[in-house]
Amino acid sequence: MREEPLVRWDWIGRNWPSIQSLLEDHVVMSLVPIVVGLLVALPLGLACVRWRGIYQPTMSLMNVTYSLPSLAVFVMLIPVTGLATRATVIVPLVFYSLAVLIPAVVDGLGSVPDHVRQSAVAMGFTPLRRLLLVELPIAVPVVLAGLRVAAVSSISLVSVGALVGRGGLGYLFIDGWQRQFYTPIIVGVVLVVLLAAIADALLVLAQRLLTPWSRARGTA
């Protein structure tokens, strides 16, 4: 009796259109929470820097949300967002991203030296101009470090959504486990790892493009 190979390449070839569809679904459900989380975290982080009293309550709420098991949150959302819908997966992931991104924005803005702010004020910068041209560029490395964590976490957690009918590549894990067939599981793991690596590399590239002075300092 011939031993079954660990990876059935013929199965991958026959099922590639389905795998590609799952991959595209996974990318969408991973990307939307990161983008929405960043768009919400920036003004919330600014508010927390401006009014320090709201920072601890905000983070306490985010930390409680982050501590909830993702599968339990997906299940609780089903009556509201429906079974096997993208919203059931995306909504919790937005809150998970916020738990990482809000402190990243606050810490990034907090890393701006006071003398830099004072110099900008002395040069006649308005608060908005100072924020856009001075404070946010300096905060970019810290914010993007948080964004890298949120991106990898989001890509990983999407797979759990397969247990409620919508999990992108996570479907391959369930399919392989139910049939005791390792090829779908291996394909799913490899593609999730590749997605995470690509997302991280793109964010590192974005940081290099947004902070050209750091490269100049490194080559000096």
189-199: pLDDT as tens digits: 999 999 999 99
The residue-averaged pLDDT of 76-83 equals 85
pLDDT at 131: 86
The confidence band for 18, taking pLDDT boundaries of 50, 70 and 90, is: very high
Residue type, 218: G
- Measured CA to CA, the distance from residue 18 to residue 8 in angstroms comes to 16
Residue 50 in any domain: the answer is: yes
Is the pLDDT at 93 greater than 70, yes or no? Answer: yes
Residue 83 in any domain: the answer is: yes
- Measured CA to CA, the distance from residue 58 to residue 61 in angstroms comes to 5
The residue-averaged pLDDT of 98-116 equals 90
Instruction: Give me the CATH number covering residue 102.
Output: 1.10.3720.10
Residue 184 in any domain: the answer is: yes
Residue 169 in any domain: the answer is: yes
Residue 92 in any domain: the answer is: yes
142-161 burial, b if ≥16 CB within 10 A, otherwise e?
bbbbbbbbbbbbbbbbbbbb
In 111-181, alpha helices (H): 114-122, 127-130, 136-157, 170-179
Is the pLDDT at 120 greater than 50, yes or no? Answer: yes
- Measured CA to CA, the distance from residue 152 to residue 199 in angstroms comes to 7
- Measured CA to CA, the distance from residue 70 to residue 68 in angstroms comes to 6
To 10 degrees, the CA torsion angle through 74, 78, 82, 85?
10
Q: How many domains does the chain have?
A: 1
Question: What's the mean per-residue pLDDT of the chain?
Answer: 88
- Measured CA to CA, the distance from residue 22 to residue 29 in angstroms comes to 11
The residue-averaged pLDDT of 186-211 equals 93
Residue 143 in any domain: the answer is: yes
The confidence band for 3, taking pLDDT boundaries of 50, 70 and 90, is: low
pLDDT at 59: 87
The confidence band for 1, taking pLDDT boundaries of 50, 70 and 90, is: very low
pTM of the predicted model as reported, rounded to 2 decimal places: 0.86
Q: What domain range is 36 assigned to?
A: 9-214
Who has greater pLDDT, 80 or 23?
23
Q: Which of 17-31, 103-117, 206-220 has the highest mean pLDDT?
A: 17-31
Residue 1 in any domain: the answer is: no
Residue 3 in any domain: the answer is: no
The residue-averaged pLDDT of 37-42 equals 94
pLDDT at 149: 94
The upper half-sphere exposure of residue 93, i.e. CA atoms within 13 Å in the direction of its Cβ, equals 30
Is the pLDDT at 162 greater than 60, yes or no? Answer: yes
Tell me phi and psi for residue 125, to 5 degrees.
Answer: -70, 135
